[in-house]
Every structure is written in structure tokens, then in C-alpha cells.
Amino acid sequence: MTIATYERYAQMLDAARRGGYAYPAINVTSTQTLNAALQGFAEAESDGIIQVSVGGADYFSGQSVRDRVIGSLAFAAFAHEVAARYPRITTALHTDHCARQYLDEWVRPLLRHEIDQVACGHEPAFQSHMWDGSTVPLDENLNIAEELLEQSVKAHTILEIEIGAVGGEEDGHSAQIDEKLYSTPADGVKVAQRLGLGERGLYMAAFTFGNVHGSYKPGIVKLRPELLGDIQHEVAAAVRDGRVACAPRAFADSWREGGGDIKGGGAADEKPFALVFHGGSGSRPEEIAQAVSHGVVKMNVDTDTQYAFTRAVAGHMFEHYAGVLKIDGEIGEKRFYDPRSWGREAESAMAARVVEACQRLGSAGKALK
């Protein structure tokens, strides 16, 4: 298996939720960082998720083009070709953090393209897309989520939503580090009432519990992963007492060829949501473990892998300073300034960080057969 089908992706997420582990979702900005992510997953014997942000998609298309749809499709096409050489792992492709101002120029066109692909009997370019409604009121957030979920079903993709704000800065989007970073159990019930729990279409939910993008010194970020357990328990209780008129469905049972029928008989449990962890750089291992125990199946990893990649490049340049620069009339050494030399070191360093993420999240060695 290489790039996941819809059914395979659903199986991956369900296996993680039931097995108590999560997949690293690695942000990439180039074919080199994409290759590094694939190398890392293969070395860890882990399935995984590779994603592009709004800025990453723009960057992929080239600074003279700067078209997010073109960049996204170019990324996906390259990934489909290269991932075919990694048959022992399954990788899903995802677009990350699409805020309202980017919907019409990025995710909605991609969904229309994928609906056309499916209508022609092909697999969609991506397997999931994120709607980042963290900057709009919850009702408006869910209005847009309902529309996108309907389109996602037609495109054979899974939707990711964000409820609450993630602090810090990513791709020019920023939020303060304050009480707005904490979702509530009532928010969870409202999401389940509006979107269902799988019977209307599959989605992942990124509830916030103090998450912050970027890298911070200890003590700045105040994570409260127990909030995720509170949300899960409250929604499960709401299913039992009738406030939510549906039952959680196992992702693996939620799609059937020929119409997307839901398999009956799913029972409510204490993890009705498939959760996503954003802004995890610098989190303590025990905080990550607690979040995963409450149903986190996907954790975004970006800042740490960026640093691993760039630190290796910097190390190469410092070590071979005289070789990469033509100093005092000298000619340097091509073997040191050849981009393939420092590029291989960077890819290996980033791959090692991906392996570490798989080990921390418990997905290492658990690639689906």
C-alpha cells in the first residue's frame, strides 16, 4: 500500500483511536522534505500523514507562480509517484489550516477537482482537508463545516475542523496566548449535534486545550490535555441521554462502495471523536501521552522537523565553510556546495526526527498490513 484510499485512511484512523496511538502529520514545503517524511515513516515502520499548509502550497508552486491549488496538486502528484516506492507503509495526504479567507482559492477548488476525479473513477488527489474556523464564531464555523463535510463525502475525503483558537503564529496567522485557547465540553456537544459522529461523513476534530504554534521556552505554553477527556466523556454522555441523536461510528465501518452507506450497530464509547493535536512542539512527553489517551489520532509536527532539516544544512555549511564559498579568489569545492551533498544530510536529519515522532506517538512498528 502507498497513498491511502479513503477506506484505508478510515482504517488507519480507527486503528489509532482504538489502539491508543496517533500518527505524526508532517508539514512539508518541498520535494526534499517530502522525501524526508517518507524516509522517516519507512524507517519507523509507521503509516503516517504528510501535509501542506497554505504557505507551503504557495511555496510548492514556485515564487513566480504562487498558486496554492497548483502547488497542492504538484505536491500530490509527486507524492503519489514517490510513495509507490514505499509499499510497506500507507501515507495520507492532507491540506493544513485553511482559514476562511483561503477557502475559495484553495480548498473549495481542490474539493471540486477531487469530486470530478471520483466521478471519473479515480482516487482523489488528497485524502483529507482542514477547515480552520478558529477565527470565526462557533455557529459560523459549523455552518461552513457542514457545507464542506457534504462536499468531502462526494470527494471521498475526510474533513478536519478546528474548534477554538491555537495560539502563536503559523504562515502569517496568529492568535494570542490566553483563555480563548481552551475549548469546552459544551463546544463538543454542539459539534456532534451539528455534524453528527460519522453518519453524515467522516471528520476529525481539533479541539484546543492551550495549544500554541511555534517554539517556546518551558512554562509559556499551558496545556490542559485533560480537557480532551472531558469533551469526549460529555459527548458520549450526550449520546446516551439523547442530547446527540446519533451513535459514534468506527471509521473503518463508515464507508461502503456504491453509495457510502453507514454500517449499522455502532455503539457509543468514551472516544466518540477522532481528535487532532495542533501546536505540539515542545510539549512534554507525558502531555502528549495524555492527549493520545483521550483519542488523539493525528498530531501535527512542523517546527521540530523544520529545525532538524535546517540545522543539518547549517552544520554542513559551518563544517565545510571554505568549500562552499569562493573565498579570496579560491574556487571552493563543488562536492561541498553541490545541493545534493547538504540536501542528503538535511533529509536524513529530518527523517530521524520523524522516526522520533512516531516512537513518541506510538505508531512506530504499527503499519497496517
What is the residue-averaged pLDDT of the chain?
A: 89
Q: The cell 513566480 sits on which residue?
A: 64
Least confident span in 22-36, 49-63, 249-263: 249-263
CA distance 226 to 215: 22
CB–CB of 354/24 below 8 Å?
A: yes
User: In angstroms, rounded to a whole number, what is the distance separating the alpha carbons of residues 71 and 129?
Assistant: 15
94, 90, 65, 242: which is closest to 157 by C-alpha? Answer: 94
- Distance spanning both ends of the chain, measured CA to CA: 8
- Residues 276, 208: Cα–Cα separation, whole Å: 9
| pTM, two decimal places | 0.91
- Phi and psi angles of residue 236, each rounded to the nearest 5 degrees, phi first: -60, -40
Closest CA to 71 of 93, 45, 49, 87: 93
CATH (residue range 6-361): 3.20.20.70
Condensed to tens digits (0 to 9), the pLDDT of residues 244-295 reads 988 676 665 654 333 333 333 333 478 999 999 997 766 889 999 999 999 9
Q: Can 96 be counted among the known catalytic residues?
A: yes
pLDDT value at 82 more than 80: yes
* Helix axis angle, 107-119 to 68-83, nearest 10°: 50
Q: Judge residue 308's burial from the number of C-beta atoms within 10 Å of its C-beta, 0-12 exposed, 13-18 middle, 19 or more buried.
A: buried
What pLDDT, on a 0 to 100 scale, did the predictor assign at position 210?
84
CA 50/CA 55 separation, integer angstroms: 15
| The one catalytic residue among 14, 58, 96, 171 | 96
Residue boundaries of the structural domains of the chain: 6-361
- pLDDT beyond 50 at 51: yes
139 burial type by CB count under 10 A (0-12 exposed, 13-18 middle, 19+ buried):
exposed
pLDDT at 258: 31
Q: pLDDT tens-digit profile of 316-325? A: 999 999 999 9
Contact 274, 251 (CB under 8 A): yes
DSSP β-bridge partners for residue 203:
159
